[in-house]
Structure 1
């Protein structure tokens, strides 16, 4: 196996953002006085300090997010929660990097629109409106002729799938800028103060692994582990071949070091749109529920572009992917759940939603 290019010498570094990229302003949420007051409410006399453990941390985070107005904070309020699932295809899938066929992205999107996916039941149960965004699927898609649709479809396609990163950058700079802006625009036109972000796409975890490796220095053999969903049905030699291809792709784009450069060179349209969605939601002081590995990769990029965005991100679960566990470590966060999920689409985010409702209840007593 070739030497992992993440550890090679880097002769050029470029951190300047494209002039065309217009990012929203995101304010940090640090508020020590609010935290002190809420800790008193959460732990009445007689209870030990931090009796609620990580539940206390969740309450404080949510309260800080919602304490951005001149009105004195009292209770948590969740209005019109939204689930947005971004769908796209990846050119590197042509290299046999996924066990799923090229038509699976379209099939999963149609299942979401028809209410046939597990997350549909959770969205209906918790009162989330579902929006599916075609960020860059390989085929044209239109809403099915069905009056019983369970979700809305937004056509924001940047291109018909990204390019094969073994042959060139996944996106041009202009495409990456357009995708980030499109994600911002999607959120801008949605109601409510809570947004859950999910994803659909063949080989999208490959892009997540490449971004984790590049932005956090994780060896590709760990970021794209033998135990991960995309590799668990392979024998050892097949997995080695896949990691070698990823190493070759990383070497080809070794100068893409900054978060935005890495996104354009190695990412996907859905990751770029989720990045923009996170930044826009944070600028509007919305709570952002981050789902699994792919959404986590978008969070890495968003943090690189605007560090304060992490104040608004609730990492809802730890997926079965080894890379996702390493990503959460680098984000220095503890997710709300650890259930070994191998499904995206925002499923983990909605499974964790009752934890936020519990946080709300703790301040109502």
Structure 2
């Protein structure tokens, strides 16, 4: 048997009906295949939250919240008050907060990683959100931060984000990378009603028309992305290069994955999809990537919360693979006589 057949045989011959642990069996196979071992180990899980502001918020009605909420939420993360703090503490996941491009001078604050490229992006209705040089800087910074995490012993990593207006960026990135009409990509974000969501879609369509000739994957990211999304793109690419297991969160993080996938299609081989967001475009993103998800519980918070909530099930998948008895070791007959 080749390695994959050996790994599948180990899963199939545990003391259970074939396939009866459902998606846990797929997760066990995925992690084992990433690590190329039938006895994988999860080491020092971490979630990195990247925060950045978006220029579109200052000029167009795409969010009910102002940019200052991004700053306020960064302080909330640092003070341990957000949902992601609670879930990471519950599941013993290391949490790091990164200023990728928030429109605020934090100075030197304990536990905040300063990776700021600029104080937010430009208004992409008028000009590209980032120039190519700054986009590349953000990607490289994401790679650098993941490499540091890897050297600290982490082999499974997830990403979260905070940035008022970033569902607008994610919608445009989704539309560009998947060739989906923008009306099917736009959701309510941080709480828009139906009328406001239609206005948001019209604003984003106008932005597409302004930049209608953009086709290169990196140019698409620079034109419509945010600094936090570009850093997550780089982080995903580097996590793949370091052969880490990558826990993909919801709509925003998946838009970064679409960018990474457009640059390096094989990145998908290391990804486990934590959940299906309640943001309407996420389902279509997952279909485009042919992804199976672990959870479908109506989440649309962001922050990496889906990844944190899914992690214990990844743990369970690895533990059954490593510790559950086989039919042979337990002297149990594995088929009807």
Same fold (TM over 0.5): yes
Q: Is the 8 A contact 2:7 2:38 kept in 1?
A: no
Higher-helix-fraction structure: 2
Q: Is the 8 A contact 1:43 1:51 kept in 2?
A: no
> Quick check: 1:89 aligned with 2:53?
yes
Match of 2:140 among 181, 199, 212: 181
Matches within 5 A, 1:41-56: 41-44=10-13, 49-56=18-25
2:8 paired residue number:
39
Q: Deviations over 1:44-99 (max 9, x none)?
A: 288554333322211111011112xxxxx241211111110000000111212111
Specify the SS of the correspondent of 1:189. Answer: helix
Specify the SS of the correspondent of 1:52. Answer: coil
Match of 1:352 among 274, 294, 310: 310
Match of 1:285 among 243, 256, 263: 243
> Quick check: 1:261 aligned with 2:219?
yes
Specify the SS of the correspondent of 1:352. Answer: helix
Match of 2:180 among 218, 221, 227: 218
Separation of aligned partners in 2, 1:328 and 1:178 = 28
What are the ranges of 5 or more consecutive residues in structure 1 without an aligned counterpart? Answer: 1-31, 68-72
Q: 1:48 to 1:66 in 2, by over 3 A?
A: same
Matches within 5 A, 1:283-322: 283-322=241-280
What are the ranges of 5 or more consecutive residues in structure 2 without an aligned counterpart? Answer: 325-337
Shift of residue 276 of structure 1? Answer: 0.4
> Quick check: 1:58 aligned with 2:33?
no
Separation of aligned partners in 1, 2:78 and 2:229 = 20
Matches within 5 A, 1:129-278: 129-142=94-107, 152-190=111-149, 191=152, 192-225=154-187, 228-230=188-190, 232-236=191-195, 238-278=196-236
Q: Deviations over 1:282-323 (max 9, x none)?
A: 111111111110100000010111111111111101111011
Q: 1:81 to 1:47 in 2, by over 3 A?
A: closer
Q: Deviations over 1:165-206 (max 9, x none)?
A: 011000001011100000000111112111110000001011
Aligned residues: 319
Separation of aligned partners in 2, 1:165 and 1:34 = 48
Q: Deviations over 1:133-186 (max 9, x none)?
A: 100001111465xxxx7xx21111111100000110000010111000000001
Specify the SS of the correspondent of 1:187. Answer: helix
Q: Is the 8 A contact 1:291 1:348 kept in 2?
A: yes
Q: Is the 8 A contact 2:160 2:303 kept in 1?
A: yes
Q: 1:137 to 1:362 in 2, by over 3 A?
A: same
Shift of residue 38 of structure 1? Answer: 2.0
Separation of aligned partners in 2, 1:275 and 1:261 = 13
Separation of aligned partners in 1, 2:40 and 2:2 = 17
Specify the SS of the correspondent of 1:289. Answer: strand
Q: 1:96 to 1:53 in 2, by over 3 A?
A: same
Higher alpha-carbon deviation: 165-174 or 36-45: 36-45
1:104 paired residue number:
69
Shift of residue 242 of structure 1? Answer: 2.0
